[in-house]
Every structure is written in structure tokens, then in C-alpha cells.
Structure 1
Amino acid sequence: MRSSLTATSRATISRTTRVLGLSASALCLVWSSAGFAQSAETQEDTVVTTGDYADTIVVLGSRRTDRTIADSPIPIDVIGGEALQNSGSTETNRLLNNLVPSFNFPQPSLTDGTDSLRPATLRGLSPDQVLVLVNGKRRHMSSLLNLNGSIGRGSAAVDMNTLPSIAIEQIEVLRDGASSLYGSDAIAGVINVQLKKRQGGRAVASYGKYVTTLRGVDEVASVAPTTTASGDPVITFTGDDRERRDGETYTIATNIGLPVGGTGYLNFTAEYKDRSPTNRSGPDLRRQYSGTGDPRETTISRYLHRFGDGESKDLNFVVNAGADIGAWELYTFGTYGVRDANGAGFYRRSLDARNRDYANGALPYYADGFLPIIVSEIRDISGAVGIRGDLAGFNTDLSVVYGTNRLDYDVENSFNTSLGGIVSQRRFDAGGLRSGQTSFNLDLQKDIEIGFAKSVSFAFGGEYRDENYKIIPGELQSYINGPFSFTNGAPGGSQVFPGFRPNNAIDASRDSIAGYVELDADITDALNMQVAGRFEHFSDFGNTVNGKFAARYEPIEGIALRGSVSTGFRAPGLAQQFFSTTSTNNVGGQLIEVGTFPVASPVAIALGSEPLDAEKSLNFGGGVAINLVDGLSLTVDYYNIRIKDRITLTENLQGNDVVSTLTAAGITGVTSARFFINGIDTRTQGIDIVGSYRVPDFGMGDLRLTVGYNKTDTKIIDRREFSGFTAQRLFARQESFRLTDGQPKDKLNIGLDWDYGIFGLTARTNRFGDVFLPSGVSSPQRDDITVAMGDAPGDITLKPKWVTDLELRAKPSDVIELAIGANNLFDVYPDRLPFGVVDGVNYGLNNSFLPYSSQSPFGFSGRFLYARVAVNF
């Protein structure tokens, strides 16, 4: 089912798509007539590998101006633009998932707004524990708080999919704690996206779709009428797995670089992507109608749910420019992204109590049931301006960056049961979220002389940052409890996503000010040492001081030992402090409020909440970098990250003691509440192995091999208790194991790039390790945190899977490039989830129509075939 977008959105996309085409044509004409076109050789991107980049200057991990990857005391990987473009996907997060072994990007479904704005993780930590930079400047967070059973529950993340791969020169991934250099969030590491500056141009058009067979999902042959009022129908199957041909995706993009004066540059990117929804649901084996022998039971489709990617229309613009003004460089860059997307909820059957029209004798409002749709309209804007040059011998950089993310919710194909079918709308404005950030930075660096050292870089600077978070209420019908809430106990608000209420509205801000100092010294040709410290004051939780020491020692040329120790922090997100969403249910004729409450609300305070403190980390890392053979690079790094006071969302706190505690505080009408706390301490340790080899004198073109391996283990080492709530009631077994074992325990990336004459080939295969799914089956062990992995009825472990991508390319001329390929060439799926009674455990029937886990680290969409044409000019 395709959900219609808003008229405003359709008009906006239509206009901007025309502008995109006209702009690209006009700029191509100007470029060609000016005679600035470059040869294919000068505009070719560099391929992903650490070895290829050994002598590349990086701006990540140190503020000295001559730092290369080979000399870095901490692990840094660089991914080139060509590696990002040689794939059927244009989503930056999906590309990184295939290229960086410690990067994880599951693609969940049925998770509300998370279906449209999916988070990613690094080294098995939370999405908000990795810092994202663009051109070395902090990127703003999204406004979405992930709450509905996905990886990263309770966190907000940066939406990296607003950065088109065609606009990216390279991505640098620092795999080490870096809060002393960059401030909050840099616990797992830092990802820096470098935008293109180069002259020349590239225009790309691609088309792809899924051609797949769903493993273990049966095709229905026939359905027999029900014979009892309580029984499910008898369904027979063909014996064949279900086949799907869906998810058509069209992408057009252009990147154009123009000279400005003698030394300036202007690089512009525009991308439009249109993705149709996918559906990987299985047959719904449950009865759909209330009457015995209802003939409609035999004819209604059993594939009523929509489980997969939603519809998405994305339009992204990127500008990166700079020009010399005397001895200084004035630079600016910015992005503008529009995403109109949707995700489906659970199908409401004809017999469902939520599908009653109490204004019409309690008959079904939708005769055959309905599939409600959550429409997410996302607007993401960022702009930066700065000036850099020499000031009294210091390399000086002064900049300001503004970013904002806006998410508006609509609900379609739904209704408010409590209002009745005559009054209720079918489409609702359910409100929205806003997140904004403004940062001012001043960075100064110079080389100084110290007698015992060969060379020393001294840097210092400061930052002022202002952040804002808002919740916008929805329209009245999206949240109101109508008259049938009181007379029939009907749920209020728009089905699938009740709108934000006026009492949820918030407009909260905070600011912070920071100063740092850094020394990076080559003591000798063989020994480098780095020391950094940072002080930061936040207006909401106070001060934090962090430091770092790192060293690299190369006793033998080509073999270097490196290690680091650092402290770090992550400031509690404004969304974690102020997000709220509540609903009212009729229980025994009494209206009862349940929901997520802000930390400082009377309800949370009465139950024992305290102001959130920063998460604090202690990072240890050590490894070896080997570059003994020309073209061969191998790095092995161990890491150990201890995090204190990790912020978690409590379970739904309910029961007689909760009601008694609230009543004693003068609060009535609330029986269930959850809120954020500094709930646990964790330890994450693991190993990263990254290798690359450019085969010399291959004799048949250019051959490059890459390999990456990550193994991560996370443990909860302490838990909080307060106000009579045990650790188990605050953070139970399911969420505990989702945090520690819900991502692959290990991951292996293997890649091959081969260019021979006009032909090229890219092959990548990824092995995703075990993922543990704690039991959701009703049993005494389900929520018991003392029950070990695999010991509760219904525990499931997803087995390791290999997923292979292949692309073939041809360049019949320096201008034209053609490509065909397949993502997930062998059509691999995660393990099929059990349903019904299996080995004495009753899993229920939901897994019959939700056959795969949303925690699958490679999604569950199957084989994607695509073709691409590119024009270089």
C-alpha cells in the first residue's frame, strides 16, 4: 500500500525536482562552455583502504596540520568517495555498514518514526555515543527519540542519510574516545564526513528493485471457513516460499565543482531519491471476522500487514565553497534535506476492539479492518561559515555552525475510536519534534620548539554551543478522549500514533562553554606522544573535565605500536530530559493516565527520579600497525570502554506500590509511568582488525583487496536501585540483553576492487555474527535479569549470515560509466522466527506475519538488483 504524501510535500518535491534538472543542465552547459572539464584521471576518487591512505593528511584525532594516517597514534580509517559510489545503495549508513566492521545499521520496521529515520552504532555502543562531524565541524542531532523496541532505544542520532554519497570526498572514522578534543558524544569514536571541493562534475541516474524469495514464508493456497466462534481458520499452503518484486528505487544526482577566482572553489550537489515500500510480511493465520462461518474469511488476503521499508521520497542539497580574501580563507558549507516517508502500524482486524464504531451499534468502522500509516515529514537544515588563516603565527579557524532537524507526524487510514465514525477524521496531524544547535568555535594551532623534541604542535581553543528542543502538539482529534472513552472504554487519539497533547509541549534550551589544549609531539623519528585536556560547563548539569594521552612507537620501520587512555563524557540529551507522551485509558470507568514523563515532572520525581547527569567513560586502547610490504597495511587494535551512569529508559513502572506512592504525593489518575535515569554502568571491549593490499604489478589491471574484522563484547557491571524499585523493575531482561547482545558479536568485511581497461568489478562480502533475542513469551523468566542467555523459554539466537554484493562496471569513454549489480546477491535472510507451539513453547501467532527480527544487522529485504549510468564532465 502506498500512502499519499501531503499536497504541500508533493508540490515542494515536484518543484525542486524540476529545479534540480534545470540546474544540472544549466551548470553542465556553463561548465562545458567554459572549458573547465577535467580528465577522468584527475577526477577519479580514491578507493577505500587504510593502506592507500597511509600518506593522506587527516584533520581527525589531532589539530596539527601534517598528521597522516600512518603516523597517527590512534586508529583512523578512511573511506574514499568511489567506494561509496560503487554500490546499489545511496544511503550513507547502509554503505558504512558494508565497509566498516565496527559499524552497525539495522533496518527496523513497525517502530513508528524510527522506520523513517534509522539510527546506527559504532563499536556496539549507543547511536548517541558516536560524534559526527562534517568538514571537521559538529553535526546536529535529529529530533527523533528512538523508543519502540529498536537498537538504540532511548537515544537520538545524527541523520547521516541526509548527506548524499556523491557529495562526499571521503569519510574518516576515528575508533577511539575523543571527548578531550571534541566534547560530548565522542565515547565510541568520531565520524568525519569531508565534502568534495574538486572541480569537475558527475551526474548519476540509477534504478533498482528487490527480486527476492522469502525464506520460510509460505504462500497461501486456500482458507477454510471457521467452524467455531473462537477458532482460527484452517489454512493450507502451496509448499512454495513467497516471492516479492517491490521496493523500486529511482535516484538521480549531480555533483558539480566550479572554480572561484584563482584559488576559490564552489561545489554543489543535488540528489533526489524515490523509494517504493517493501513488504516482507507472512500470512496472518488468525481469524479476521467475528462471525462463525463468515465467507469473507476465505477470500480476504492473508498478507494484510506491511513489514519492511516504508515509502520514502528524499531531496538533498549540499554546498561546499571557499575563497581567499587576502591572507585568509573564507569558507562555507551547508545542507538542506527533505524526506517524506511513512511506516505502517499493526493491521487492525475487522473483529478488533479498536475497530468499533460505537456511534453505529459497535459495528466495524472499516468492514475488513485497516492498516494505519504513520507519515513522517522530515526537514533537516545545516549551515556553516568560517574564516581561517594566520594570526600572530597561529593557524586560526573561527567558525559558526547552525543545524536543525524537524519531524512532523501525520497519521493516515486511521480513526479515533472514542469519537465514533461519524465525527472522527481518518487523517490526523499528530504534532512534531524540533531539535536545533548553534556552535561557535575558535581553534588555534602552531608548531613550537621544545629542546628535547623533534617537533611539537601546540593547539588550544574554545567552543560555545546552544541547543534547543521542542515538542509541538497535534490537532485536537489526534489526542482527545471522546465520549465513547467514558461509556465504552474506547481508546482516545488517532489509532497507531496518538498525537502529542498540549501538556506534552515543551520548548527547552541549554548552553555550554568549553576550552581545550592539546600537545602533539614527535619526540624522535620513532616516538610520537599526544596529550589533550578539555574543560566544559553545561548550564543544566554543570562541569566536566576530560583528558587524553596517546603514543606511537615505531622500533622497526614498518612496525608501530600505539596506545591511548582517555576519559570521556556524553551530556544527557535534551530529548531524554524533556520528552513526554501520554495517553488516557478507561479502566473500570476511571480515566487513567500512562506514558513517558519528563525527568523533572511531578510524577517522575514522586517515583524517585533525579536530574540526569552526564555519562562518563574511561577508554583504553592499544594495538599495532604494520606496513612492511609496499601496498600492504594491517592494523590490530584492542579497546576497553567503561561507561558510568549510562542513561536508560525505565520499564513501565506500575502496580499498587506505584499508585500508593503517587497518591501520597498528591497525584491521582496515573497508574503507569516511565522516565529516563542514569541506570547502569557497562564495560565494552573488543578488537578491530583492518587490512588492505594493493597488488603490485598485477599484470591485469589494478587489484585491491581489503578486509576488516570486529569483535565486541558488552556487559552490564552495575545497576541502580531507588525508591523501592529493584534493578529488575527499572531495566528488565529484554532491554538489558538488547543493549548487551542485540547487535552482532562479531563482523567480517571482505572486499575486492578490480579495474582492467574499461572494465571494473567490486565484490564485497560481510559475515554478520550472532544476535541474541531475549524471550518475549509469557513466563516467570521473561523479565528476570538473573536468567542467563538461552535459559528462558522463547530465547532465540539469530545465526551468523554471509551477505555478498557484486557490481560490474564499464567505461566505454572517459565520460560515460555504466554499471549493473546486486546487493545481497544470494538472497540471504535472517533466521525465520518461530510461531505457534514449537518444542513446547507457545510463541503465539504474531511471528507468522512478522517472520524476521528487526534486529537483523543487515535488514530483511533480500536481493536488490540495480543498474546505473553516470556521466563525468
Structure 2
Amino acid sequence: MRVLTAAVIASLSAQLLAAEAEGDKVIVTGTRLATRTATDSQSPVDVLSGEDLKKTGATDLNTVLSRLLPSFNFPRPSVTDTSDAVKPAQLRGLSPDQTLVLVNGKRRHTTAILNTNGTQGRGSAPVDLNAIPIEAVERIEVLRDGAAALYGSDAIAGVVNIILKKSPSSGEAVVGLGQYGEGDGKHSNFGVHGGVSLADQGWLHLSAAYHDQGYTNRAGADYRNPAEPRYGQVNQRYGEPDSTQRSVFANGQFNFTGGVELYAFGGYTGHDTQSAGFWRPALDSRNIPSIYPQGFLPLETSSSEDQSLVVGLRGALGDGWRWDTSLNYGENTFKLHVDNSLNTSLGATSPRSFNIGSLKNGQTLLNADLSREFTPSWFKGPLALVLGAEARRENYAISAGDAASYYGTGAQVFAGFRPSDSGSHSRISESLYLNLEADITEAFSAGLALRGEHYSDFGDATSAKLSARYALNPKAAIRATASTGFRAPSLAQQYYSTTTTGFIGGVPYDVRTFAVSDPVAKKLGAENLKAEKSRNLSLGLVLQPLRNLNASIDAYQIDIDDRIVLSENLTGSAVRSFLATNGYDGVDGGRYFTNAVDTRTRGVDLVSTYHLDLGRAGTTDLSLGYNYTHTDIRSIAANPAQLSENGLSLTRIGRVEQGRITKGSPSDKLSLGTDYKRAEWTLHGQLTRYGEFTVYNANPAQDQTFSANWVLDLAATYRVGRVSITGGVDNVTDQYPDTVLAANSNSGILPYSNSSPYGFSGRFLYAKLGYRW
């Protein structure tokens, strides 16, 4: 074997430049070879440039990804407690926390909250992608393949790698305004980013953003009780919440003598949200008329803070070896208040505002690896070898609210965290990994990854991945992967506990989420959680019949054993009595996390792009993306005996949760995009067809399948020198999902489904003014 020579390095650089010139994009996700591109990758990787992100007109990453990636689903639930503030997003219809998020290739921390109400992603505690401002992002690479053997826990559905801007000189400032067609949801945003050179030995790129959005309301009038003082009026808020976000990010590098590089990046995001609970009528038993004679709408006011910092050193050891070591810290703190509320247990002296408490989730990660590219004489190209080790400490803490928030029945809509809920929990994981990847012949490349991990709270997990690509000819290639993976139960899933108001069959219930270690949960059949295990298979065809035409089609299968889900809401008079006997008076039901479900997800991704040069008439870029995903439940663990004892007759995993897993996301999604450029003008159009989805009910007669729908987004940009002016309309034809069956809509008060993949606020109009330097 021989290490890379200067001539070989020069040749690789030339290949890289040639690939970029032909429109193919060099990637860093899922590979360690310096010249690997999206087209010749052994696994499907989507590369979204900064221009791709901007042309959508969206100001948050989840919305951007939902418009650009057919396999990405981003519903916008409302009246779902903390899920209003951190909305769930799914890749390939799987749970939000089964997608790993990286920033510059380093693991991003997850949010502290759990999506516990009836939304897609129920029971997950994912990364809040919207905490990363678009202004800071250079590009995004999405590895649509299980990659736990490469990156560790959470990569069952795929990996989203966010690459931060690194220009040492250029920058841009943008200001924008917008509102929905109904006249509400007014939006204003300001973003700026720019770079500076550090004495010709490095660079620093800074980004800052501010976004403010008013709430939307698509609730119906309340006609339930003619005796109510506000009968026939719109009392509820149902739609996008009030939201304000502030972000500052930095990304930098400094080069020391001797080839050692210091790199660092991180940021801070503060996000304040106010969303509505469910209206309490004046004559409701949960109201105190002397406090609210007209009834009241409780408001949940949350404050979320994300902060992160990664610092690392990298360099060369000689003989072709390179080293990289980094320290990664990230933390999310979530504080919740309830306003315009009361605690019926305190009577007429009840406060109207309550401190519910706070949640904190953090990670500290130390990583070190060695890498080297060899050029074996029997290989056509280089062989990349990576050896690494990683240690990660995770922390999760719950702080109790004020005494009035949890006393008795607790604050309306979201009872405070009790002292018995509070506590601090941590665990340590250690891992070793090996990656090999090579271009073995001119037509055949392959890769191998192995990873072993040890967790202090549940033991060991191992994963492996094999991948290969074979070029049938210069215009067609096949690729395939086979891998095993895992996802460790989050600390939040093990220890989160509180009581909130949720809807079951359209009726509000006060339901307690129990930690699996809680003695009451044990009496209901709860068991200690273990890691999810996955087996991923994919087979794809890559085509480049013309220089400017690229297409790929990939079929995949993902089997997940011991999938962690939140049980059904266990309710009924017997449960209410059982909970009252065990110290939870006034609570209607309970739920807990369980490894009770095995699933199989199958699907197909189709992606195609075409660049058309029209000469003096300009250029046109066309794109087509399609995803079909279907999930089946292979088995459900036997119902715990405890759920049939003590007068109970309950099912841990019923048809509502089964339906959410198998039918709650759109069955398919088709996206057609076009970008036309001529002189100073750029025109963008995006037409998306969202497939049908189904919401199950405990009563099969109340199941509802929502029809597919087309949504059209249009935008135009005019550039004069360094100034750009953009005007756009999202959802041009003002499409809404089907209205919910009367039996499921609280008598028409909540007329749209929270599972709608494009929300239910209608047409949005916006304008932006930008300046580049």
C-alpha cells in the first residue's frame, strides 16, 4: 500500500472541481472520501443548497424541508400543549426522534419536551430544527438511510446534516413581512449573516435572526349550550400560535502553524410561544363563575432556550494519518406558564396565572477519531479508513412549578409539575466505531461500518452497515445497503411525568403521563424501557442519461423491533377510581411508555432534476420528487395482566395508536418544482400533492380518511446590483384539508385535523428585501 502523494491529491482536487462544474454535489454525510458526490454515493443523499432553502420563501427549517423533500412530513398541530411550540416532523413516516440531526457533522441535542397529545410523533422528544436559523445554513445534506453504525443512536429513519456558512467575506441582510389571507398571522422577520477573515489564518462567520408571527384562528363558533352567555360565538383559538424567536450563530476556524486547525461553532436561540388550550364554558364544572362569568380560554406561555457549542482540533500525524478531536455541548431549557386559568381546588381565591415548572435536556460529548486514505495497488481509487471513540453524557431534569399549579386538580389545561415529578437524571454512553469505504474498481465501490455502544442505564447496543454501488455503464448505476441500527430510549421517555388536558374522541380529558418507574405505572403494567432495534434494507437505481438530467429511485424496508410508543390513554370510571385511590384525585386517565410494538415500513423515493439552458431566453431548472411510504404493525406485545385486574378492562395499545403509526402520515407525496432565471428576474414555482391520511377513533364509525390535495407556491425575485426584492404567495389557491366529522370536532369548534401535512391556515402572502455584499 502507499499513502496519497501530492500528485494524487492534485488529481482528486481536479475530480472534485469537475464534479461541481457538472452540477454534481460533493457530500460529507455518510462518507469519508473527499471526492464522494451525491450521484456516486452508495446511499441516497439529498443535497439542498442555500439558494434551494431561500427560494421556498419559508423562514423555518421544518417548513423548508417539508417543501423540498418528498419523504419529509411536517404537520402543524394546535391545542396540543407543548407540541404547539415544538411541532413534530417525520422522515419516511417514522417517529421524529428516529431521525438523527447533525450540525457540521456533530450530533445536535434534542428538545426537553415530549409530544404527548394526539399528534403525529406522539411520545417523541426530537431535535427542534427550527431553533437553527436559515440565515446560518450553507446547505443541508439528508441521508435517507439508516446510519446508526456511522453515527450512533437515533439514525433509524435517516440523518439530517446541517452545514453552517463559512465564507470569510460575503454576507447578506434580509427583511421580510407577510400575513395569511384571512388577515391574521402577521409575520415579520430580519436576518443577517457575514464573514470576516482572521489575519489570513482563518475565518469567522456570524449569523443573527429575528422572527415574529401572530396567531391564526380557524376555530368554529360554539353552539353546544344555549344557556351559555357566549353561545354561538367563536371562543376558541385554533391555528398557528403567537411566536417570537431570536437566534445568534457562529462558525469559525483558525489555522495554526504545523497544519493544526482549531474549529468552533455554536449558537443561542430563544423562542417564546403563546398557544391556546381548550375553551372552558361559564357553566363548565372546571370553571369558577365568580372568576370567569363568561367562561375562559387558558393560554400556555412557554419559553424555550437552545444553546450549543462545539470546539475541536484537527490535523495531520504524518504518513497520511489525520486526527480530529472535539468537545460538543448542547442544552435545551423549556419553561412553561399558564395564564388566564384557575385551579378549581383553590376555589374563588385561585390565582389566574401559574408557573408550571421547567424541563432541561442536555448532552456533553467527547469524540476522537483517526482517518487515512490509502491507495492499494489492487484498488482503482482510494480506501478510506476511520477509527474512532466517543463518550456522551446526557442529562434530563424536571423542576416543579409553584404549589398552586399542582395542588389538588391543578392548574387548568396543564397542571404543574409536582415535587414528586421533579428530579435530575443522567446516563453515560461509550462507543467505538470503524468505517471502511473504497472505490474497488472503476465501476464498483463498497463500504463497511461497525459500531459498538455501552449505555450505563440499559446495557449494550451494536450496529453494522454494508453498502455498495455498481456502475452498469457511464449513465446508470445500482446501489444497495443493508444495516442494523438502534435508538436508545430518551431520558425524557423514561422520566417525564405530568397531567395535561387532551382530547379523546373529541372529548377533553385530564390525563397523566407516568414515568415507567412510577409505582402507579407499574400497577398499570409499565416496564423498564429498552432500546429499539432496526434492520434497514435499500435498493436503488441512479440514472444520468443526459449531462443535465439526474434521476434516482430507491426502494427501502425498515423493520423496527421493540418500538417505543406512548400507550393509549387509559380512561374510564374504573381508572378514575383507581387513580384517586393512588393519590391522583380528579385525573381521568393515565398513560406510559412501552416497547410494545414491532413495525415494518416500506416505501419508494424518486428524485429527478433537469437543467435546461434556453440561451438568451434564460435558464430553467426542473425538479420532480415522489415518496410512497406504508407502515404495518408486525406484532403487538401481549396486554399486561394488570390492565385486567382491580376492576380494570383496558388495552395498552389500541386502534387509535395503531392508526396513528400506520395511517396518520400521508401515504404519498409528489412535488414538482421549477426555477426560471432571465437577466434580473427569477421565478419559482412549487406544486405539491399531499396524499391521503386516516385518523382512527376508538369507535370505528368515527374513523376518517382525509383526501389528497394539491398546494401551489409561487414567488418572483428581481435583483438590481446587490439588492433583491421578492414577492411570493404560498398556497395560492387557498387549500384547506377536509373538515373533521362533527363527532370528532367538538361540535365544529375544531374543524380541521391536526395531522394535516400542510396545516390549516390557508393562503400566505409575503415580501422580502435583501442586500448582499
Deviations 1:545-579 (A, max 9, x none): 11010000002012010000000000001011111
The question of 1:310 aligning with 2:241 is answered: yes
Correspondent of 1:140 among 79, 104, 109: 109
CA distance in 2, matches of 1:657, 1:497: 23
Letter in 2 for 1:758: E
Matches within 5 A, 1:482-497: 492-497=409-414
Match of 1:627 in 2: 544
Correspondent of 1:649 among 532, 541, 566: 566
Q: Residues 54, 525 of structure 1: CA spacing in aligned structure 2 closer, same or farther, 3 A cutoff?
A: farther
CA distance in 1, matches of 2:384, 2:511: 56
CA distance in 2, matches of 1:402, 1:201: 27
Q: Quote the offset at 1:655 in angstroms.
A: 6.9
Match of 2:598 in 1: 681
SS in 1 for 2:666: coil
Q: Quote the offset at 1:87 in angstroms.
A: 3.2
CA distance in 1, matches of 2:226, 2:295: 8
Q: Quote the offset at 1:117 in angstroms.
A: 0.9
Deviations 1:373-416 (A, max 9, x none): 00010111011101111123322111111000011000111111
Match of 1:163 in 2: 132
CA distance in 1, matches of 2:56, 2:512: 42
Identify unmatched segments of 5+ residues in structure 2.
1-18, 502-509
CA distance in 1, matches of 2:600, 2:471: 30
CA distance in 2, matches of 1:709, 1:51: 25
Q: Quote the offset at 1:350 in angstroms.
A: 1.3
SS in 1 for 2:358: strand
Match of 1:16 in 2: none
Q: In 2, are the aligned partners of 1:709 and 1:749 still within 8 Å (CA)?
A: yes
Q: Residues 267, 111 of structure 1: CA spacing in aligned structure 2 closer, same or farther, 3 A cutoff?
A: same
Q: In 2, are the aligned partners of 1:254 and 1:270 still within 8 Å (CA)?
A: yes
Match of 1:573 in 2: 490
Q: Quote the offset at 1:661 in angstroms.
A: 9.8
Deviations 1:485-508 (A, max 9, x none): xxxxxxx21111111110100200
Q: In 2, are the aligned partners of 1:51 and 1:633 still within 8 Å (CA)?
A: no
Normalised by the length of structure 1, the TM-score is 0.82
CA distance in 1, matches of 2:549, 2:57: 28
Match of 2:145 in 1: 176
Deviations 1:648-699 (A, max 9, x none): 1122446799799999xx9677895321110100000000000000113444
Correspondent of 1:762 among 684, 687, 694: 684
Match of 2:64 in 1: 95
Match of 1:366 in 2: 292
Q: Residues 275, 604 of structure 1: CA spacing in aligned structure 2 closer, same or farther, 3 A cutoff?
A: same
Q: In 1, are the aligned partners of 2:553 and 2:605 still within 8 Å (CA)?
A: yes
Identical amino acids, percent of aligned pairs: 43
Match of 2:158 in 1: 189
Q: In 2, are the aligned partners of 1:204 and 1:868 still within 8 Å (CA)?
A: yes
SS in 1 for 2:716: strand
Match of 2:213 in 1: 275
Q: Quote the offset at 1:509 in angstroms.
A: 0.1
Q: Quote the offset at 1:450 in angstroms.
A: 3.5
Match of 1:225 in 2: none
Letter in 2 for 1:798: F
Deviations 1:696-726 (A, max 9, x none): 3444112101110000000000001143248
The question of 1:860 aligning with 2:760 is answered: yes
CA distance in 2, matches of 1:400, 1:834: 52
The question of 1:825 aligning with 2:752 is answered: no
Q: In 2, are the aligned partners of 1:54 and 1:70 still within 8 Å (CA)?
A: no
SS in 1 for 2:263: strand
Deviations 1:751-795 (A, max 9, x none): 11111001111100110000101135xxxxx2xxxxxxxxx2122
Correspondent of 2:626 among 695, 709, 714: 709
Q: Quote the offset at 1:599 in angstroms.
A: 1.3
Q: Quote the offset at 1:604 in angstroms.
A: 2.5
Q: Residues 121, 859 of structure 1: CA spacing in aligned structure 2 closer, same or farther, 3 A cutoff?
A: same
SS in 2 for 1:58: coil
Q: Quote the offset at 1:522 in angstroms.
A: 1.0
Q: Quote the offset at 1:513 in angstroms.
A: 0.4
Matches within 5 A, 1:342-361: 342-356=274-288
Match of 1:418 in 2: 345
Match of 2:397 in 1: 470
Q: In 1, are the aligned partners of 2:736 and 2:762 still within 8 Å (CA)?
A: yes
SS in 2 for 1:811: strand
CA distance in 2, matches of 1:684, 1:620: 10
Q: In 2, are the aligned partners of 1:52 and 1:631 still within 8 Å (CA)?
A: no
Match of 1:602 in 2: 519
SS in 2 for 1:437: strand
CA distance in 1, matches of 2:266, 2:563: 33
**The structure with more radius of gyration:** 1
Normalised by the length of structure 2, the TM-score is 0.92
Correspondent of 1:404 among 331, 339, 343: 331
Q: Quote the offset at 1:314 in angstroms.
A: 0.5
Q: Quote the offset at 1:69 in angstroms.
A: 1.4
SS in 2 for 1:569: strand
Match of 2:268 in 1: 336
Q: Quote the offset at 1:65 in angstroms.
A: 2.4
SS in 2 for 1:106: coil
Matches within 5 A, 1:801-816: 801-813=709-721, 815-816=722-723
CA distance in 1, matches of 2:615, 2:340: 60
SS in 1 for 2:651: helix
Letter in 2 for 1:328: V
Higher mean displacement: 465-474 or 62-71: 62-71
SS in 2 for 1:718: strand
Q: Quote the offset at 1:56 in angstroms.
A: 2.6
Higher mean displacement: 451-460 or 130-139: 451-460
Correspondent of 2:183 among 224, 229, 245: 245
Q: In 2, are the aligned partners of 1:51 and 1:692 still within 8 Å (CA)?
A: no
Matches within 5 A, 1:113-152: 113-152=82-121
The runs of at least 4 aligned residues of structure 1 exceeding 4 Å deviation read 50-54, 654-663, 666-672, 725-728
CA distance in 2, matches of 1:205, 1:690: 33
Q: In 1, are the aligned partners of 2:567 and 2:657 still within 8 Å (CA)?
A: no
The question of 1:515 aligning with 2:432 is answered: yes
CA distance in 2, matches of 1:501, 1:697: 66
CA distance in 2, matches of 1:862, 1:111: 20
Match of 2:372 in 1: 446
CA distance in 2, matches of 1:733, 1:511: 36
CA distance in 1, matches of 2:438, 2:734: 51
Letter in 1 for 2:268: Y
SS in 2 for 1:477: helix
> Could you say what the CA RMSD is over the residues aligned between the two structures, in angstroms?
2.3
Identify unmatched segments of 5+ residues in structure 1.
1-49, 212-243, 291-295, 357-362, 482-491, 585-592, 777-781, 783-791, 836-842
Q: Quote the offset at 1:54 in angstroms.
A: 5.4
The question of 1:749 aligning with 2:671 is answered: yes
The question of 1:204 aligning with 2:174 is answered: yes
